[in-house]
C-alpha cells in the first residue's frame, strides 16, 4: 500500500501547475486586483473574459507580471497591457515565476514537452533562458535576497519536498523530509527564513524554517487550508490564501477562498478580503509592492 506521502504526491501532480482550459468554465473572467493591506482598499485594474494567473509586482513598482496561455505578460498599474516578455523564447510557462530582489533576473517554471515543469532563468532585459533544474517536476517559488539561491517544490522518487539550488545552476539540496506535501517556499526579505506551506499534520498550514532547513516553526493552526505564505518587505507579516474547505493536499481552481494577513511573530491573523471565487492562480507567487503597502491578486468570476 502506498504511503501517505506518495498518495499526496499523486494528488498534487494531478491538480498542480497551471490550470488547463478544460478546468476553467468557458466564459470565466479574470480580474487583476491590487489591495492596500492597511486600509483594505481594493482597485480592480484589469478584468477580461479570459484566464490569467499569478501576479508578481515588479521590484521598481512600475508593473505587474502575469501568465496566460503559457506566456508571461506585463501590465502597468492602470491595467494597460505592456506586451509579452520574449514570447519567442518563453512559452509553456506555468504560474510559478518572479523576479530577483534587484529586479534584473526573471525566474520561471516551464512545462517542458513530455517532461513536466522545470526551472529557468533569464535577464529581464532580454537574453537566452538558462535551464537550472534538469530534474523534473520542479516548481519555483523563491530566490534569496542576495540572488544566489533558488528554492522550489519538487517531486523526487514520488515524494514532494522543498529543495534549494544555486541560481547559477548546480547540485540541488533537499531541505524538507516529512510526511505530506511541502510547497511554496519563499525567502523573507532579510534572508533569515524560508516560508512555506505543508500538510504534514493532516491539514495545510503555514510554516517557516531557517534557510538550511532547520528550526521549523508552525505559524497557523486552524480549520482552513492555508497556502503560499508571502512574507512582507518589513518581515513582520505574510499574506496567505485560505481555502474554506479541506482540499486534501491540492490547491485547485474555482473554490471559495479568502486572503488573510498573518503576523509572523504573534501568529494573529486578520482577513484582508471577503470570501471569493479563486484558488489556483489567485496568488501563487510573491506579489507585494516594493513599499509593502499593497498586494496584487486575481479574483475570478463564473460565467
Per residue in 13-29, pLDDT tens?
444 444 554 588 899 99
Rg value, the chain, Cα: 17
Per residue in 196-220, pLDDT tens?
999 999 999 999 999 999 999 999 9
Q: What residue spans define the domains of the chain?
A: 4-301
* Arithmetic mean of pLDDT, 172-184: 95
| 3 state SS for the chain | CCCHHHHHHHHHHHHCCCCCHHHCCCCCEEEEEEEECCCCCEEEEEEECCCCEEEEECCCCCEEEEEECCEEEEEECCCCEEEECCCCCCCCEEEEEEECCCCCEEEEEEEECCCEEEEEEEECCCCCCEECCCCCCEEEEEECCCCCEEEEEEEECCEEEEEEEECCCCCCEECCCCCCCEEEEEECCCCCCEEEEECCCCCCEEEEECCCCCCCEECCCCCCEEEEEEECCCCCEEEEEEECCCCCCCCCCCEEEEEEEEECCCCCEEECCCCEEECCCCCCCCCECCCCCEEEEEEEECC
Residues of the chain with pLDDT > 90, as a percent, come to: 89
What whole-number distance in Å separates Cα of residue 156 and Cα of residue 5? 12
pLDDT of 23 reads 83
Confidence of residue 190 (pLDDT cuts 50, 70, 90): very high
Q: Is it the case that residue 5 has pLDDT exceeding 80?
A: no
Output 208-216 pairs: Cβ under 8 A, ≥24 positions apart.
208/264, 209/175, 209/176, 211/144, 211/149, 211/164, 211/187, 212/175, 213/162, 213/174, 213/175, 213/176, 216/176
**Selection from 109, 126, 101, 131 nearest residue 54 by Cα:** 109
And the C-alpha cell for 211? 534557510
pLDDT of 9 reads 46
Q: What is the mean pLDDT of the chain?
A: 93
* Largest interatomic CA distance in the chain: 53
Query: Dihedral through CA 276, CA 281, CA 251, CA 95, nearest 10?
Result: -170
Per residue in 215-260, pLDDT tens?
999 999 999 999 999 999 999 999 999 999 999 999 999 999 999 9
pLDDT of 290 reads 98
Per residue in 116-173, pLDDT tens?
999 999 999 999 999 999 999 999 999 999 999 999 999 999 899 999 999 999 999 9
For residue 255, how far is the Cα from the chain centroid?
Answer: 17
What whole-number distance in Å separates Cα of residue 242 and Cα of residue 28? 21
pLDDT of 6 reads 47
Confidence of residue 2 (pLDDT cuts 50, 70, 90): very low
pLDDT of 179 reads 86
Question: In this structure, are residues 10 and 250 in contact, taking their beta carbons and an 8 Å threshold?
Answer: no
Question: In this structure, are residues 186 and 195 in contact, taking their beta carbons and an 8 Å threshold?
Answer: yes
* Arithmetic mean of pLDDT, 273-297: 98
* Arithmetic mean of pLDDT, 19-44: 88
| Domain topology for 4-301 | Neuraminidase (2.120.10)
pLDDT of 18 reads 46
The residues pairing with 209 across neighbouring beta strands, listed in sequence order, are: 194
What pTM did the predictor assign?
0.93
pLDDT of 47 reads 98
Q: Is it the case that residue 11 has pLDDT exceeding 50?
A: no
What whole-number distance in Å separates Cα of residue 240 and Cα of residue 201? 18
Amino acid at each position: 500500500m502506498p504511503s501517505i506521502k506518495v498518495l499526496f504526491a499523486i494528488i498534487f501532480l494531478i491538480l498542480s501547475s497551471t490550470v488547463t482550459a478544460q478546468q476553467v468554465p468557458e466564459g470565466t473572467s479574470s480580474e487583476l486586483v491590487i489591495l492596500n493591506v492597511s486600509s483594505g482598499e481594493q482597485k480592480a485594474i484589469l478584468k477580461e473574459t479570459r484566464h490569467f494567473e499569478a501576479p508578481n509586482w515588479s521590484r521598481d513598482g512600475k508593473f505587474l507580471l502575469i501568465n496566460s496561455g503559457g506566456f508571461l505578460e506585463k501590465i502597468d498599474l492602470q491595467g494597460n497591457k505592456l506586451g509579452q516578455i520574449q514570447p519567442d523564447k518563453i512559452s509553456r510557462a506555468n504560474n510559478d515565476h518572479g523576479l530577483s530582489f534587484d529586479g534584473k533576473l526573471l525566474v520561471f517554471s516551464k512545462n517542458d514537452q513530455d517532461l513536466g515543469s522545470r526551472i529557468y532563468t533569464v535577464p529581464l532585459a532580454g537574453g537566452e533562458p538558462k535551464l537550472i533544474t534538469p530534474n523534473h517536476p520542479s516548481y519555483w517559488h523563491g530566490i534569496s535576497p542576495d540572488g544566489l539561491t533558488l528554492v522550489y517544490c519538487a517531486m523526487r522518487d514520488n515524494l514532494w519536498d522543498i529543495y534549494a539550488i544555486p541560481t547559477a545552476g548546480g547540485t540541488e539540496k533537499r531541505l524538507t523530509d516529512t510526511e505530506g506535501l511541502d510547497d511554496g517556499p519563499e525567502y523573507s526579505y532579510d534572508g533569515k527564513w524560508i516560508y512555506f506551506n505543508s500538510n504534514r499534520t493532516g491539514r495545510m498550514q503555514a510554516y517557516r524554517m531557517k534557510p538550511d532547513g532547520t528550526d521549523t516553526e508552525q505559524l497557523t493552526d486552524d480549520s482552513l487550508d492555508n497556502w503560499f505564505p508571502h512574507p512582507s518587505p518589513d518581515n513582520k507579516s505574510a499574506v496567505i490564501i485560505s481555502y474554506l474547505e479541506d482540499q486534501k493536499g491540492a490547491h485547485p481552481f474555482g473554490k471559495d477562498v479568502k486572503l488573510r494577513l498573518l503576523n509572523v511573530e504573534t501568529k494573529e491573523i486578520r482577513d484582508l478580503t471577503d470570501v471569493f471565487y479563486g484558488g489556483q492562480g489567485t496568488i501563487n507567487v510573491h506579489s507585494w509592492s516594493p513599499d509593502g503597502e499593497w498586494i496584487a491578486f486575481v479574483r475570478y468570476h463564473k460565467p
